[in-house]
Structure formats: structure tokens, C-alpha cells
Structure 1
Amino acid sequence: MYLIPNIDEIKKKRKAKGLSKCKLSIEAGLGNQALSRIERQETKKIHPLRAKEIARVLECNVNDIFKEE
């Protein structure tokens, strides 16, 4: 089961934390362009473990920024 990103919420939380897309990607243990691809909607579905790491860096719950398929 993959998760679908809520791009508006991810952007809002990322900007509130003062993180660039690259910085968030790296802190979440992803490739440095991962968040750019997500925010451009090139990556439509995210593995739950990756979503969990993004949420951890943004200090929120996974379901605040992702929804189930």
C-alpha cells in the first residue's frame, strides 16, 4: 500500500519549518531531488517508510501530509 502526498500540506509544513526541498529530502534520508519531484507531482505515490521519514522531519503525523491509495 503506497501513500498519496498532500502537496499543499507538505509545502506549507516545509516552509513553516524553514526547509528547502533539498534540505527536507536529505534530512528524511531521501535523494536530494525527492521532494522536488513530489511537489511537482512527478512522484504520485510514496512508500510508507519514506512518508514516515518526511513526516518525522516535518514533526507531524503521516496522515497529516499523505493519504492512502
Structure 2
Amino acid sequence: MYLVPKVSEIRTRRLDAGLSQHSLSRTAGLGGQAINRIESGETSSVHPLRAREIAKALHCKVEDIFIVKKGA
């Protein structure tokens, strides 16, 4: 199982929270450019644990900002 980011939803929630891409990445405990790679489409799937941390940093549910895909 992997999670596909809802890019526009992540961007909207990040901007509404007043966070830069870098600050959201760091708040979620990820590398400084992680959100940039997700929002630019460079990262097409995200590990569930990383997705959970991003959702936690944005104060929402994982399913609000990611689509669950089964398979590799």
C-alpha cells in the first residue's frame, strides 16, 4: 500500500496554515525539500508513516490529503 498525495489539497492546507514548504517539511520531521518534491509532482507516492506526519502537521486526517492505492 502506498499513498498518492492530493497536491492541491496539501498546498491549500499548507498555505492556510501560513507554512512554507520548508517549514512544513521540518514540522513533519522530513527533509527540508520533502514538501517541495511532493507539491511539484517529483514524489508521486508517500510512505504511510510520512503521510501521517504531514497530516499531523496540517491538523487533518491522512485521507484528507492522500489517496490510498494498493499495489506497488
- TM > 0.5 fold call: yes
Compute the TM-score of the two structures, normalised by the length of structure 2: 0.95
Unaligned residue ranges in structure 2 (runs of 5+): none
- Displaced runs of 4 or more, over 2 A: none
Identity of aligned residues (%): 54
Structure 2 residue aligned with 1:46: 46
Distance in 2 separating the partners of 1:3 and 1:66: 6
Distance in 1 separating the partners of 2:50 and 2:17: 19
Structure 2 residue aligned with 1:3: 3
Q: What do the CA deviations read for 1:33-65 (whole angstroms, capped 9, x no partner)?
A: 000000000000000000000000000000000
Q: Does 1:56 align with 2:51?
A: no
Matched to 2:43, the amino acid is: T
Count residues with an aligned counterpart: 69
Compute the TM-score of the two structures, normalised by the length of structure 1: 0.99
